[in-house]
Amino acid sequence: MNFLKGIAASSGIAMAKAYRLVEPVLSFEKKVIEDANVEIERLHTALTTSKTELETIREKAKVGLGEEEAAIFDAHLLVLSDPELITQIEDKIKTEKVNAEQALKEVADMFVSMFEQMDNDYMKERAADIRDVTKRVLSHLLGVQIVNPSMISEEAIIVAEDLTPSDTAQLNREFVKGFTTNIGGRTSHSAIMARSMEIPAVVGTKTATVDIQHGDFIIVDGLKGEVYVNPTLELITQYEQEQIRFEEQKAEWAKLLNEKTVSVDGHHVELAANIGTPNDLAGVINNGGEGIGLYRTEFLYMGRNELPSEEEQFESYKTVLEGMNGKPVVVRTLDIGGDKELPYLDLPKEMNPFLGFRAIRLCLEEQDIFRTQLRALLRASSYGNLKIMFPMIANLDEFRAAKTILEEEKQKLVSEGADVSDFIELGIMVEIPSTAIMADQFAKEVDFFSIGTNDLIQYTMAADRMNERVSYLYQPYSPAILRLVKMVIDAAHKEDKWAGMCGEMAGDEIAIPLLLGLGLDEFSMSATSILKARSQILRLSKNEMEELAEKALQMSTTSEVVEAVKALSDKVMSI
Ligand SMILES: C=C(OP(=O)(O)O)C(=O)O
Ligand SMILES: [Mg+2]
């Protein structure tokens, strides 16, 4: 039995065979061939196998993700049967007497660079399609298997170097019981998505792909951040008991579904959910969410080849607003960048993507993208209680510029006769230290704050949220972070505004007593954490937590703070 320690990213216990999701090696040598016909036949066999495979993937994507996501594969199927591409590969094999792999690569590279140089987004997307399809055909020529998470059709635990947010979105919950990765932290987006999909996960193990072989039986303990490879029967039985206990605990929490979240001394706070797509709505309702505190709209833009249209966005926003039936829905405008990439935007690679051209910075420059989203939001506003929030605001000029654009679009829509609500609150994410420090000034102009601690911690501590090697610095309970949070909440309250938090800290059981004491009004978290948080807050006294927070703000280290919270007694800690 082998044991790996990582970061507990999504709670629960999974036991199944390992499914390794590793990039295949597609290297080959250029060869001079004797018989061109043999090579051409190999090429056609690889093309046919790729076609059958893509059709199956397309079908699965259609069932699991919907027609729109599946349409991406139509573009790939088109490339596969493009006569111009195929004839040129055949000609190369015949005239230059090279192997099919070499001919395929040279012709594909030529098309890719031709399309990439065109000043046309549609053509640039075709370059990405050709690259993808070439990889698939090449894998069949070489007899190497390309793995695709959406193709998993038996119970498995994924083992990977890392999972991108779009890989995670494609996971089929029926078969994927859990995952473990080499890199990543609790607030990397794949971890956040795992929590909302209720898939147990341990990230940042450093060596999962080395220590775990395809088909090994593994246990992923997402509560403790541990992974066992080929465990003993005794351990399996122990974990089966553990699974039962976890389910019983969840059943207890479920009794609080329709309760208000009120402390023992009568202070009410709002427990809201973070979502990525309208598909997450059911989870919010089934977990007793009192609103949506963060709708990460960037997922609408991901896993596809082009920007979503205004109409498409309008439909998604309307679905969420109607689904929440008048409860608050905070929609965050496009926050692309960092670990959330959009290949079709074709932005230059940056040295420090988390500090680069992203989120509101990109939206203020690429205004077509921004205005389309704002129009869709404004049109949807009459279907519910919409609040709009801008991400990554670093100074007041950015907020004012974004607000002006929103107002311009609103005027246009109103003059076109559209129905736009007059009660849309406008707020910002506080996730950059400069904004927390200047919160008193912002509070005069915004309607609310939502503290994005996932980024606020990484920017304050200069510790990458995705890097497990610096995770010791990435501490939500650090007095430095608590002081910033206090500044933001106090600044909001001074201007009669509300302050929420949508970073993962809001659902963390050690942070919750402190945040209640600091006066946070709204806690927004993975839907699956809501009932547990409610059960905890129902046992806390706001007055006592104020005293605790006061003391914590004067402490000098994170561990002192953690000890003080834990000393509150088992009564207020869930586990
Ligand atoms: C909620 C946040 O945004 P994201 O995790 O999407 O960066 C945050 O930074 O805390
Ligand atoms: Mg953020």
Residue 1 has pLDDT above 80, yes or no: yes
Name 344's Cβ contacts closer than 8 Å, sequence gap at least 6. Answer: 121, 124, 125, 128, 304, 305, 306, 307
Closest CA to 45 of 112, 139, 128: 139
Strand partners, 385: 328
CB distance 527 to ligand 1 below 6 Å: no
3-state secondary structure (DSSP) of residue 323? helix
At residue 201, the pLDDT reads 95
Q: What confidence tens digit (pLDDT) does each residue in 219-263 have?
A: 999 999 999 999 999 999 999 999 999 999 999 999 999 999 999
Burial 162-175 (b: 16+ CB within 10 A, else e): bbbbbbbbbbbeeb
Closest CA to 523 of 515, 64, 531, 352: 515
Q: Just list the catalytic residues.
A: 189, 502
CA angle 474, 478, 480 (to 5 degrees): 105
Per-residue pLDDT, averaged over 11-15, amounts to: 94
At residue 105, the pLDDT reads 94
CATH of span 2-22+152-251: 3.50.30.10
Q: For a pocket test of ligand 1, which of 296, 300, 432, 474 has the largest count of ligand atoms closer than 8 A to its C-beta?
A: 296
Considering the domain delimited by 36-142, tell me its CATH architecture.
Answer: Orthogonal Bundle (1.10)
Least confident of 194-198, 257-261, 291-295, 490-494: 194-198
Q: What confidence tens digit (pLDDT) does each residue in 77-103 have?
A: 888 888 999 999 999 999 999 999 999
Q: How many CB atoms lie within 10 A of CB 344?
A: 17
CA dihedral 574, 185, 435, 508 (to 10 degrees): 0
3-state secondary structure (DSSP) of residue 181? strand
Q: What confidence tens digit (pLDDT) does each residue in 96-126 have?
A: 999 999 999 999 999 888 887 877 766 766 7
* Per-domain boundaries in the chain: 2-22+152-251, 36-142, 255-572
For the chain, helix, strand, coil in percent to 5 are: 50, 15, 35
Ligand 2: centre distance to CA 429 (Å): 8
Burial class of residue 120, CB neighbours in 10 A (0-12, 13-18, 19+): exposed
Per-residue pLDDT, averaged over 292-308, amounts to: 91
Show the tokens assigned to 33: 């061939």
Ligand 2: centre distance to CA 119 (Å): 32
CB distance 195 to ligand 1 below 6 Å: no
Average pLDDT, the chain: 91
Considering the domain delimited by 255-572, tell me its CATH architecture.
Answer: Alpha-Beta Barrel (3.20)
Residue 575 has pLDDT above 50, yes or no: no
Q: Which atom of ligand 1 is nearest to the CA of 294?
A: 1
- Of residues 75 and 336, the one with the higher pLDDT is 336
Residue 572 has pLDDT above 70, yes or no: no
Residues 73, 143: Cα–Cα separation, whole Å: 22
Residue 390 has pLDDT above 70, yes or no: yes
Residues 501, 481: Cα–Cα separation, whole Å: 13
Residue 207 has pLDDT above 60, yes or no: yes
Please give the ipTM for the structure prediction.
Answer: 0.99
| pLDDT classification of 189: cutoffs 50, 70, 90 | confident
Same fold, 36-142 and 255-572: no
